[in-house]
Structure 1
Amino acid sequence: MTSITPRDRRRLETGVKQALRDTSLQLALLNHQVGARLKLRDADFDCLNLLSRHGPLGPGTLAKLAGLHPATMTGVLDRLEKAGFVTRDRDPGDRRAVVVRTPPGRGREVLGLYAGMSDAMDEVCAGYSAEELAVILDFLQRAAAAGNDATAGLAG
């Protein structure tokens, strides 16, 4: 690999940070559009995404992950349940507890709205070798972990 000056490295690091901000903004705008198509508020759609990512969760855990007050979570879950995006079921491990889950089938509707982005990302990824994709994956996972830590620090 060619050696670069400290100044060039700072420029690259600044470029990476700016590209992450741009990507974050574009993904947020895409999520807003998908949420609007589904007639969901932003917080409701965020919770649906968290359930999709983490699987069934208790309402308290979901509230914590979403950074929402438990009373706010009740309203979010009421709206999502009414729209058929989630169910609240008794936790088989603790009959007093409730677990929120996404019913089968509704996920296809959401995924369909992301089809254009998914296809575009397939094309982007096709331009990289497996080794390059491994480095990109590592970078994105580490960036997500840093974002998680920063969020936890602010929520603190």
Structure 2
Amino acid sequence: MSFISSGGGRDRRRTVTLIKDALRELRNQLSLLNHQVSRRLELKDVDLDCLELVHRHGPVTPGELARLAGLHPATLTGVLDRLQRAGWVARERDPNAADRRAVWVHALKDRNAELFGLYSGMNRSLDELFEGYGEAELAVVADFLRRATALGRAATEELAQE
């Protein structure tokens, strides 16, 4: 499935437009997938987003998690309360902090299988898709995704400062 052309400016613009359209559609499909996972786990979408961030970056402080999620600290408190009540995360006091209120948030491993199981269909499908690409092609895709993610992060930070 190759829609990359070797032609001039018009072909390149068409290809770039196809890629941008595909990225928007991928974003929509992943959002819908995450919404279904949230629904199955009886979480709000933002709760699942924060849980993913804790899995990826944790343990983290609530302040750091609020920054990563782009949420107001008071909003994050509600998210953490829900995640803790549901058995997804724990907040533990930092014994080395001067401020006794300092805590770390970490994901609890007990429910990982439940969470990862809901993504197993997508993960299997991605593994099958990857089989159709060579190592060099996968390296280009990985590089593109890393760089596109960095651009998205920069655009988000720019909008957040306005």
TM superposition score normalised by structure 1: 0.95
Secondary structure of the equivalent of 1:89?
strand
- Quote how far apart the aligned CAs of 1:67 are: 1.1
Distance in 1 of aligned mates of 2:6 and 2:146: 26
Residue 140 of structure 1: aligned partner: 145
**Which residue identity is paired with 2:42?**
K
Distance in 2 of aligned mates of 1:94 and 1:118: 40
- Quote how far apart the aligned CAs of 1:91 are: 2.1
Distance in 2 of aligned mates of 1:91 and 1:148: 29
Residue 129 of structure 1: aligned partner: 134
Distance in 1 of aligned mates of 2:125 and 2:6: 33
- Quote how far apart the aligned CAs of 1:85 are: 0.4
CA RMSD of aligned residues (A): 1.5
Distance in 2 of aligned mates of 1:4 and 1:99: 53
TM superposition score normalised by structure 2: 0.92
Distance in 2 of aligned mates of 1:36 and 1:29: 10
- C-alpha distance 130-93 of structure 1, shift in aligned 2 (>3 A): farther
- Quote how far apart the aligned CAs of 1:92 are: 4.2
**Which residue identity is paired with 1:40?**
L
Residue 51 of structure 2: aligned partner: 48
- C-alpha distance 152-26 of structure 1, shift in aligned 2 (>3 A): same
Return the match for 1:109 from 98, 107, 114.
114
Return the match for 1:33 from 32, 36, 44.
36
Tell me if 1:71 matches 2:74.
yes
- Quote how far apart the aligned CAs of 1:106 are: 1.5
Residue 20 of structure 2: aligned partner: 17
Distance in 1 of aligned mates of 2:121 and 2:159: 34
Structure 1 unaligned blocks of 5 or more: none
Tell me if 1:100 matches 2:72.
no
- C-alpha distance 130-74 of structure 1, shift in aligned 2 (>3 A): same
Please list every run of at least 4 consecutive aligned residues from structure 1 whose deviation after the TM superposition is greater than 4 angstroms: none
Distance in 2 of aligned mates of 1:92 and 1:47: 24
